[in-house]
Amino acid sequence: MPTSRSGRAPFSGHRIKRKIILALVLSSIIPLMLLTYVLFAYLLPRLDPEQHGAQVTALHALVAFTVLLIAGGLCVIWDVATAVARAAEAAAAARPLGEFEDRLDEVGTLASSLSRMLSTIDQQTSEINAFAARLDTAHNELEVANTRLKNLSFKDDVTGLYNRRLLLFRLEEEISRYLRFNHPAAVVLLDLDGFKDINDSLGHAAGDATLREVGQLLLKHSRGMNVIARYGGDEFAILLVETSKSSARLYAERMRQLVSACAFSHGRRLTASFGIASLPEDATASGDDLLRAADEALYAAKRAGKNVVAGYEPGAAELGTKEKVD
């Protein structure tokens, strides 16, 4: 189990104390002992006391004075090491350092310095935490702004569906996927029959509500992997992923029946015409070519009397069934 920070503090203080004492022993006491040994074992026996009495006395005095100096330094260092250990214990016990700061010796100076250092650390920690909080808030706001910007860039304001820009982007992706993996795809264009009469007689608010209801109908009865977009005006485009032309025709016929049977909020009945184009039968070069083929099929459906599903054919539209509307 990991040791807590408060438990490590006194241990660190005592470890520093031991290191200071060890450094003193290694740097002063042991060299002094070696020097004394060499002096008394080798140097003094070779000196004649009668001839070199003054030198012998001076050497003894030098050794004694050195011992006294080391002893005095040891007392000072011991006092400093003890102060460090006590300061660590005080920090671990969360006790104020004021009781040490009132002292006028080195312990008080060290405690005062340590207290100022801890205060600076606490202040800097608070500033860092505040900055991190502001940074996190800014990051969240940036993500929200990016999401809102993406929605504004790829969503239609009236229906909430994808717009033409996103449709073209996804079309190019599907064409690239077909060229690499030979996966089919189809585009269905839907145009509302008589939508201008809704706008003229009931107003644009009713027209916008109608577009939203058609969009929700398409979303409800389509797979999640398909891309449903408002193509422009009262036209909708549906990109059917992994869908052959025959399956796209079945889908368009089902949508045609749902639109003609839908009870719109304005109380009027409405129909729609559909044009179909697919990969690889009708276009493989670009998304614009596929949309152009679907648009030609849609015009063919309009010429055939509306409320019709038509597939693209070069030079002639392949017409589907037509339903009479009461």
Look at residue 124 and tell me whether its pLDDT is greater than 90: no
The kind and range of the H/E element at 217 are helix 204-220
* Strands laid side by side in the 235-241 sheet: 227-232, 235-241, 185-193, 271-279, 308-311, 318-322
More confident residue, 285 or 185: 185
CB 217 within 8 A of CB 151: no
Two structure tokens written together for 252: 């368009």
Task: Read off the pLDDT of each residue in 244-258 and give the average, rounded to a whole number.
Answer: 95
152 falls in which pLDDT band (50, 70, 90)?
Answer: low
H/E element, 245? helix 245-261
- Residues 177 and 179: their CA atoms lie apart, in Å, by 5
Place of tokens 């304001």: 157
pLDDT in tens, 84-101: 666 666 655 545 555 555
The answer to whether residue 234 is catalytic is yes
Cα dihedral 34, 36, 37, 41 sign:
positive
Residue of 222, 229, 219 lying closest to 170 (CA atoms): 229
Burial classification of residue 19, based on how many CB atoms lie within 10 Å of its CB (0-12 exposed, 13-18 middle, 19 or more buried): exposed
Q: Which residues contact 245 (CB under 8 A, 6 or more apart)?
A: 184, 186, 276, 278, 281, 282, 311
Q: What is the pLDDT of residues 263-322, one digit of tens each?
A: 898 888 999 999 999 988 887 778 889 999 999 999 999 999 999 999 998 765 444 444
State the pTM of this model.
0.55
In DSSP notation, 289-308 reads HHHHHHHHHHHHHHHTTSSE
Burial category of 66 from C-beta neighbours within 10 Å (exposed 0-12, middle 13-18, buried 19 and up): middle
Active-site residue, selected from the candidate residues 191, 193, 234, 282: 234
Q: Is 186 helix (H, G, I), strand (E, B) or coil?
A: strand
Bond from prior residue into 49 cis (ω within 30 degrees of 0):
no
Token pair recorded at residue 113: 């310095």
- Based on C-alpha coordinates, what's the Rg of the chain? 46
Pick the CATH number of 164-322 from 3.50.50.60, 3.40.50.450, 3.30.70.270, 1.10.730.10: 3.30.70.270
